[in-house]
Amino acid sequence: MSFSLLKLALLAGAAQGAILGLLLWTRPVNREANRIFAFLLFLLTIHLTLVAFDERDFLCVFHISATSPG
């Protein structure tokens, strides 16, 4: 498994999201809204981590809408 600059940037963003989500979760002011936002931030963090470790080169694959039917 090789680490490219893109993977490192994605993992750095995921780490930052996890830290900010944890800080938001424990903040007592506006608790309900902060917890909802922290939960969504954790979901985004999980998604970024999964994309960073994906080995299928998703950026190099053409989408099906770019192909012609014939």
Full-model pTM: 0.71
Give per-residue burial for 27-65: e unless 16+ CB within 10 Å, then b. Answer: eeeeeeebeeebeebbeebeebbebbeeeeeeeeeeeee
| Residue 20 parent element (H or E) | helix 5-26
Altogether, the residues listed in the chain come to a count of 70
Q: 29-58: per-residue pLDDT in tens?
A: 999 999 999 999 999 999 999 888 877 755
Mean pLDDT of the region 50-68 = 66
Q: What is the DSSP string of 38-62?
A: HHHHHHHHHHHHHHHT--S-TTSSP
Q: 4-38: per-residue pLDDT in tens?
A: 788 888 899 999 999 999 999 999 999 999 999 99
Report domain extents, the chain.
16-56
